[in-house]
Amino acid sequence: MTNVLELRGITKRFPGVLANDKIDITLREGKILALLGENGAGKTTLMNILYGLYKPDEGSIAVHGKEVEIHGPNDAIAQGIGMVHQHFMLVPVMTVTENVMLGIEPTKNGIFLDKEKVAGRIREISDQYGLDVDPNAYIKDLPVGIQQRVEIIKVLYRQADILILDEPTAVLTPQEVEGLFMIIDTLIKSGKSIIFITHKLKEVLAVADDITVLRLGRVVGSINPKEATTEKLAVMMVGRDVNLVVDKKPAKPTEPVLVVENLYVRDERQNQTVQGVSFEVRKGEVLGVAGVQGNGQTELVYALTGLLPLEDGTIRLLGEPIHRTTPRNILERGVAHIPEDRQRHGLILTFPIHDNMMLCTYYKNPFARGISLQEKTIFSNAEELVGQYDVRTPNIYVNAGTLSGGNQQKVIVAREFSRPIQLLIASQPTRGLDVGSIEYIHQQIIKKRDEGTGVLVVSSELDEILALSDRIAVMYKGQIMGIVDAQTATKEQLGLLMAGIHPSETAQA
């Protein structure tokens, strides 16, 4: 057995942060190494170093036992290293083929782009590994799961035999995760080696051959998956016991906060993705919206928050209609929104943390007096929230874009929880967060509930839905298949509803 990859003593400093501190990791040939660690532990940084995006301050990299210098992605690719990033790097208005070609455009007669050749090769790769991707489809028309496969094809097209997958499952539905694991399996069988980053401990136990855990930029240890349990891994990651189930008292719901009747919404491409949805959320309860992603949940939330217009129906907040009003008006009535796409809606990555911490209330006392921004309050507010929510950052003046993925999410949660609210709409609230942060944010959501806030949680993680909800609505093809009591709901029952089958129907069948 040989090691395809050895990183030795890798150290990387950013202004004010020691992101990697003498890290050693080893990848065995034909194996899957899972890299675990809290948000901001330095996983992405380490992988970016391996891929040549950052230059390490110290340390060496050996591929197939030979020490190599990697100065940029091209060097990495030449060494057979390929990376699928945490946030995809695809051009939405281009086709799969064009995206795969980017940067290595092959030509016919030296002038004309040879698209057919590339498309043919994509089909071969797609067949070989069971990826099922149409080379001529436009990226913007593809679901996230398939976009990710395009990223994998890009890597395979460049003949990588070491694949880095940075949180590949964070954005996938359970079905898509299954699909990805099958692909990983084929990849391993054909001799590839994989570094796999995730926060989902069950996945780690399911696929990993080796596990290495990072904390605060250092390796805290490696463990054999056969000896590991999710609890053990959680302790290694965050350095303390983590309560993986939220303990909550039964809800004491009172009057309705949000009443939605017969809602119809079209998405940006004019497809009617919400078709006649009705439900209510009461004060002091959590209504979970379960469903495979892409069944209208996104548009439902956009309509509730004013980001998309309704086609038909009514939305009432505390008895007053809000469906013909502006996002600002909805915010002012006390609706907080943790958006599904944090980099698109939730943050301005090129703005400092302190500005992102007041993004929705910048014009109000105490952040502004008249039109004059009150920097002192803005700074102290950010300091306070960064401390309270344990956002890992050197200071509040750095741009939100420099934060690790999970810490970006914490900034949004901190901001949305810090103003008085009647209704909390949380879309995928813990996507990309480590177990410790998930525990904390779940506790905070339940705390809001117990304070009498109405909570709507949309998540494609059934575990999360079950952990938080008092009632669960299942969406399928733009409609609500049923609303069930979370106390009595089972995963099987929900699974059927999510597939569009009423349990009663199966009973008859």
Ligand X SMILES: Nc1ncnc2c1ncn2[C@@H]1O[C@H](COP(=O)(O)OP(=O)(O)OP(=O)(O)O)[C@@H](O)[C@H]1O
Question: How far is it, in rounded angstroms, from Cα 123 to Cα 34?
Answer: 29
Which option in Mg ion, ligand X, other proteins, none does residue 429 bind, with CB closer than 5 to 8 A by kind?
A: none
Q: Which residue is nearest to Mg ion (CB)?
A: 44
Binding segment for other proteins (CB under 8 A), chosen from 175-183, 194-202, 435-443, 475-483, is 435-443
What one-character DSSP code corresponds to residue 343?
A: I
Q: Does 436 bind other proteins (CB under 8 A)?
A: yes
Which two three-digit tokens encode residue 143? 């679901």
Question: How far is it, in rounded angstroms, from Cα 227 to Cα 247?
Answer: 27
How many residues form the binding site for Mg ion (CB under 5 A)? 4
Q: If you write DSSP's letter for every residue of 95-130 in order, what string do you get? A: BHHHHHHTTS--EETTTEE-HHHHHHHHHHHHHHHT
Residues of this chain, 75-104, that bind other proteins according to CB under 8 A = none
Q: Does 339 bind other proteins (CB under 8 A)?
A: yes
Residues of this chain, 438-467, that bind other proteins according to CB under 8 A = 440
Nearest distance in Å: CB 23, other proteins: 14
Residues of this chain, 25-54, that bind other proteins according to CB under 8 A = 40
Which option in Mg ion, other proteins, ligand X, none does residue 273 bind, with CB closer than 5 to 8 A by kind?
A: none
**Site string (80-99) toward Mg ion, x via CB under 5 A:** ------x-------------
Question: How far is it, in rounded angstroms, from Cα 181 to Cα 242?
Answer: 27
Question: How far is it, in rounded angstroms, from Cα 66 to Cα 6?
Answer: 9
Nearest distance in Å: CB 310, other proteins: 16
Q: Does 405 bind Mg ion (CB under 5 A)?
A: yes
Q: Which is nearer to other proteins, 19 or 474 (CB)?
A: 19
Question: How far is it, in rounded angstroms, from Cα 111 to Cα 125?
Answer: 26
Q: Mention every residue, 6+ apart, whose C-beta is less than 8 A from residue 445.
A: 286, 424, 426, 429, 455, 457, 468
How many residues form the binding site for other proteins (CB under 8 A)? 56
Which option in ligand X, other proteins, Mg ion, none does residue 454 bind, with CB closer than 5 to 8 A by kind?
A: none
Q: If you write DSSP's letter for every residue of 425-485 in order, what string do you get? A: EEESTTTT--HHHHHHHHHHHHHHHHTT-EEEEE-S-HHHHHHH-SEEEEEETTEEEEEEE
Specify the length of the chain in residues.
Answer: 509
Q: Does 393 bind ligand X (CB under 6 A)?
A: yes
What one-character DSSP code corresponds to residue 167?
A: S
Q: Where are the alpha helices (DSSP H) in 18-168?
A: 43-50, 73-78, 96-101, 115-129, 144-157
CA angle 466/472/476 to nearest 5° reads 110
Q: Does 397 bind ligand X (CB under 6 A)?
A: no
Q: Which is nearer to Mg ion, 44 or 460 (CB)?
A: 44
Q: Does 351 bind other proteins (CB under 8 A)?
A: yes
Binding segment for other proteins (CB under 8 A), chosen from 227-235, 256-264, 346-354, 473-481, is 346-354
Residues of this chain, 10-49, that bind ligand X according to CB under 6 A = 14, 17, 19, 37, 39-45
Q: Which is nearer to other proteins, 27 or 214 (CB)?
A: 214
Distance of CA 327 to the CA centre of its chain: 24
* Residue 133 φ/ψ region, left for φ over 0, alpha for ψ in the -120 to 50 degree band, beta for the rest: beta
| CA–CA distances in Å: residue 340 to residues 140, 156, 344, 413, 476 | 17, 29, 9, 12, 18
Cβ–Cβ under 8 Å, residues 36 and 171: no
Residues of this chain, 269-328, that bind other proteins according to CB under 8 A = 305, 307, 326-328
Which of 12, 25, 44, 459 binds Mg ion (CB under 5 A)? It is: 44
Which of 2, 350, 365, 488 binds other proteins (CB under 8 A)? It is: 350
Q: Does 390 bind other proteins (CB under 8 A)?
A: yes
Q: Does 409 bind Mg ion (CB under 5 A)?
A: no
Cβ–Cβ under 8 Å, residues 442 and 468: yes
Q: Which is nearer to other proteins, 346 or 482 (CB)?
A: 346
SS3 of 227, please?
coil
Nearest distance in Å: CB 221, ligand X: 16
Nearest distance in Å: CB 31, other proteins: 31
Which option in Mg ion, other proteins, ligand X, none does residue 463 bind, with CB closer than 5 to 8 A by kind?
A: none
Phi, psi at residue 423, to the nearest 5°?
-135, 130
Interface positions with ligand X (CB under 6 A): 14, 17, 19, 37, 39-45, 86, 392-393, 402-407
Interface positions with other proteins (CB under 8 A): 13, 15-18, 40, 55, 216-217, 238-240, 305, 307, 326-332, 337, 339, 344-351, 355, 359-360, 362-363, 368, 371-373, 375, 387, 389-390, 392, 394-399, 401-402, 436-437, 440
